[in-house]
Structure 1
Amino acid sequence: MTIRPGFGLAIVGLGASLAPLDIAVNVALPAITAHFKLALGDVQWLVICYVLVYGSLMLVCGKLGDLFGHRLIFRIGLAISALGCAACAAAPDWGLFLWARGAQGIGTALALSCTPALATSLFPESERTKALAGFASSMAIAAAVGPFLGGVLVELWGWPAVYWVRVPIALATLALSGLLPSPKPDSRPFDALGAVLLAACMSTLLLSLVFSQRREVAGLWALALAAVAVFLLVAYVRRANSVPEPIIRPSLFADPRFTIPNVLNALANLAGFAILLLTPYYLVNVLKLSPLGVGIVLAMAYGGSLTGAPLSAFLVARIGQRPTVFAGVACVGLGLLPLGFTEINTPVLVVAALLVLEGVGQGLLTVAYTDIVTATLPPRDRGVAGSLSLLTRTIGIVAGASVLTALQAHGAQGFMNMAGFLAGYRFAFVAAGGGLLVVLLTSLLWPGVWSSQPRSRRRS
């Protein structure tokens, strides 16, 4: 049975929405803390368990999709996600809750890693960027809805509802996913040892970033984990260079035209995370907005992404992928930097406009950057390509939690109370936005990184 591309994309987008809808959990954190009688610091493991699992498994799951079929891995991920969310909602104690969050992370890694590949498989190759724009739009919509949905669900039915609500979404997508195309399994071998090394490297790296922002953990632990991550990376590179079919070829990153867009995507997400991490406090404590007002203003960034994604597809077709990525990163930096000069009397509309600009930049960047990665890797590795684009975003966000917290604390030194927060807030945004623009301009030193080239050229 042949499915209409638009309907198929809606199915894929519905499944992918399970990940950004996890933002609703942030609204439920106070209720979860009270229910399990946790210390404030302990509740952060709810986020850590989830991010560590799906971030470390993303590339491996993308490879599994390439070998055994993206639809199959997607469907397994949906089933595990449904079970994981139900287990979180019904967990009788904190320990079982964390195990359930880990299971949810496995489901997210399996399902999400294959969604970009499934999206592009629904359209002709000439419309690949259109498919990626539709996929990015569905993620932005889910991210915008998440905080509002979380608030309503917690208010009406309590914190378990933020997990229960995703069970029918996962099951409905699972039922409809049988309509998606299902190519035959690939006969290439799966490098199990390489997968273990790569997953261990990613999990150790992410854990080191998490520990670096936790005051109760000695800084030596973060450094030790970072050193272990480097060791595992070296071991993976040696392994990958000795087998015919590695999870991802390290030689790809020897080309600045491939590496620099990956680095800038991570840095743009690092810098952009300041909006979710710091801006809510600015809106509540400085501008004195209500929770509803905060939600509306923060949604402006995702509204910008909804505009930026289709605009990216339009620009890629006319000026190319790389100039569009450059423009996207520039918009992110130019949206963030002026936020570092906001005051107590800054109009809310000015803040909202800057968030829209940052969101447009993220939309431009996400689609065009994913298109670069997809075009660089061979078609048989579409799962790895899609999962790599999602992994760099995850690394950026996790690193952002550490870096931005440190920047805010540094900027607040010497000030008291609200003046200290505002000084730290402004310093963090100037450093994040300005630093991103400096790195972007520095990348111009590498000739040809941002020049357009025919999309048909791929690395074999």
Structure 2
Amino acid sequence: MDGEREAGAGIAGRAGHYASADFLCRLSSRAMDPGATSLNGAVVPMRNRFRGGLRLVTLGLGVSVVPLDTAVNISFPDITGSFGLPLAMIQWVIICYVLTHAGLMLAFGRAGDIWSHGSVLRAGLAWSTVAFILCALAPSFGWLLFFRFLQGIGAGLIISCAPAVVTSLYPETRRAHALGIFTLMFALGSAVGPLIGGALVARWGWPGVFWFRAPIALTALVLLHGLPAASGGRGERFDIAGALLLACGIVALLLAINALPRLRDGDYLGPVLIAAAAASLAAFLRWESRIAHPIVQIALFRNRAFAAITLAGVLMYLVSFSVLLIVPYFFVRYTALPLPLAGALLATGFAAMAAVSPGAGWLVGRIAAERIAPLGALVTGLGLFLIGEWQPDTPPQFMLFALALQGLGMGLFQVAYMEIVMAASPLAYRGVAGSLSMLTRTIGVVTAAAGLTLAFQALQGAASAQGAGEAQAFLSAFRNLFHAVGIAAALTGAMVAWAARRPR
């Protein structure tokens, strides 16, 4: 079978034994069969470049409805004001959405492996179209949360199979280039979301951030037809029990991360949820090891290099989220920058990521991905460390440079990381591989929202205890936190490089 031959560098059957310590090097896209695409082993020659480019643009349009959810963040004050809510309640607008797509992503990716990645993605576009309209029409906050849950299902369907569909449009020798294009799509959506959201909220209120995405999803659904539908997993049974155990484990874990900061207030829900997550995930691992067609090939994680790059993905998304979490407060409270300029500066990282992504795909296609990933982590760390050097009178040009450096590094890392994960997985599990690369992003962001907030408050409190004023305490915590996450990013790159070279 062609798919099995192409996957031989990563896995030999279900056992997943690797031939040597340098398997990441040998899994580079240069070693793949140039005559087939990566979707379900289907052969899709790129004869018509214009038609292929148009399909790629349409696919990018459809995928963009997920990262464009950054537009919702700018609508939070209007949502709380419209429904008369305390500020703390707004977190459930995020939680209901994020936990849903995070818990279902791997299962949806496996469904795409069995029945067709294109069909799952188009189902997500149809579902999302309805969910956006329902969110915009929500008559109460409770209904809005329920419709956000429905929106999370649509997002899970889309992003679980999007990487597999994008790579299916290119030969395997250009898989890294395809992943660069996917990173470009995601970064552009994330960058323009707040800009569009601000304009829509000012004109139509919070429903506007949902209304505008419904026609985008519907247009992509109508135009995205004829995607390769053959599947190497056709005829397999979908593992419903495994999907439920995995979803419960991931949701409980993310809820536990969110609840842990309240432990100091006497709220012990966090440890209870951690125990529930551990029990569910342990049952999932035991179940998956006993069935013929598991959702996730557990054998992959027995390899040190693959486990290290997966952990590195979580860590890099964690440290990078510090920019969106802390920098806005620095801009608003301690600089005289106009809000439009502050917003433009904040989008610099996404813009740099988008700009470098196609080039990163080109580099990964010519240099082993395990070399580009540590480089990207190091550049990201340097950018984060330089952010820690900011003062209220720092010139905007220096701020722009530091943020652009961080975004450039993340662009390099993300493309290389996704290439390693996709290359290590057989074609029959390409949807799961893409889902895994997206799930690490979610886990990193949720962990950052809880962990980095606690860390910043602790650093600020320590500075205040030493007699620092409010402004000095904030700036001290700002400097120490960004220095710490910058060093952590560099150490993460070193870990990836070490794991790739070290024998099993």
Amino acid at match of 2:101: Y
Mapping of residues 49-448 of structure 1, within 5 Å: 49-184=96-231, 186-214=234-262, 218-413=266-461, 414=464, 415-446=468-499, 448=501
What's the TM-score once normalised by structure 2's chain length? Answer: 0.86
- Does structure 2 retain, via aligned residues, the 8 Å contact 1:62–1:383? yes
For the aligned residues, what is the CA RMSD? 1.8
Distance 2:484 2:375 in 1: 19
| Residues 156-197 of structure 1: CA deviation (Å, up to 9, x unaligned) | 111100000000001001101113222257112211111111
| Greater RCO, CA 8 A, separation 6+ | 2
Amino acid at match of 2:375: A
Query: Where do 5+ consecutive residues of structure 1 fail to align?
Result: 451-460
SS of the equivalent of 2:88 reads coil
Distance 2:337 2:242 in 1: 50
TM-superposed deviation, 1:200: 0.7
TM-superposed deviation, 1:359: 0.5
- Does structure 2 retain, via aligned residues, the 8 Å contact 1:153–1:162? yes
Distance 1:447 1:303 in 2: 30
Range 439-448 or range 15-24, more displaced = 439-448
Amino acid at match of 2:474: F
Distance 2:495 2:221 in 1: 45
- Does structure 1 retain, via aligned residues, the 8 Å contact 2:370–2:497? no
Structure 1 residues 439 and 122, CA gap change in structure 2 (3 angstroms): closer
Distance 2:197 2:376 in 1: 29
Distance 1:316 1:5 in 2: 22
Distance 1:446 1:370 in 2: 17
TM-superposed deviation, 1:288: 2.0
> What is the count of residue pairs matched by the alignment?
450
Distance 2:489 2:458 in 1: 18
- Does structure 2 retain, via aligned residues, the 8 Å contact 1:211–1:217? no
TM-superposed deviation, 1:244: 0.9
Greater CA radius of gyration, 1 or 2?
2
Distance 1:444 1:138 in 2: 28
- Does structure 2 retain, via aligned residues, the 8 Å contact 1:322–1:449? no
| Residues 36-56 of structure 1: CA deviation (Å, up to 9, x unaligned) | 110100111000110000011
- Does structure 2 retain, via aligned residues, the 8 Å contact 1:407–1:427? no
Range 295-304 or range 418-427, more displaced = 418-427
TM-superposed deviation, 1:426: 1.7
Amino acid at match of 2:238: F
- Does structure 2 retain, via aligned residues, the 8 Å contact 1:264–1:329? no
TM-superposed deviation, 1:116: 0.4
- Does structure 2 retain, via aligned residues, the 8 Å contact 1:9–1:131? no
TM-superposed deviation, 1:213: 3.7
TM-superposed deviation, 1:445: 4.5
| Residues 235-279 of structure 1: CA deviation (Å, up to 9, x unaligned) | 111101100111002121111111111111111110000111111
| Residues 99-137 of structure 1: CA deviation (Å, up to 9, x unaligned) | 000000000001111100000111111111111111110
TM-superposed deviation, 1:341: 2.3
| Residues 49-90 of structure 1: CA deviation (Å, up to 9, x unaligned) | 100000111101100111111111111111111111111110
Range 306-315 or range 38-47, more displaced = 306-315
Distance 1:217 1:91 in 2: 33
TM-superposed deviation, 1:362: 1.1
- Does structure 2 retain, via aligned residues, the 8 Å contact 1:143–1:302? yes
- Does structure 1 retain, via aligned residues, the 8 Å contact 2:117–2:229? yes
Distance 2:457 2:386 in 1: 19
Amino acid at match of 1:71: G
TM-superposed deviation, 1:10: 1.4
| Residues 369-399 of structure 1: CA deviation (Å, up to 9, x unaligned) | 1111111000111110110000001100110
Structure 1 residues 449 and 206, CA gap change in structure 2 (3 angstroms): farther
Amino acid at match of 1:428: L
Matched residue, 2:33? none
Paired-residue identity, %: 38
- Does structure 2 retain, via aligned residues, the 8 Å contact 1:308–1:362? no
TM-superposed deviation, 1:447: 5.7
Matched residue, 1:457? none
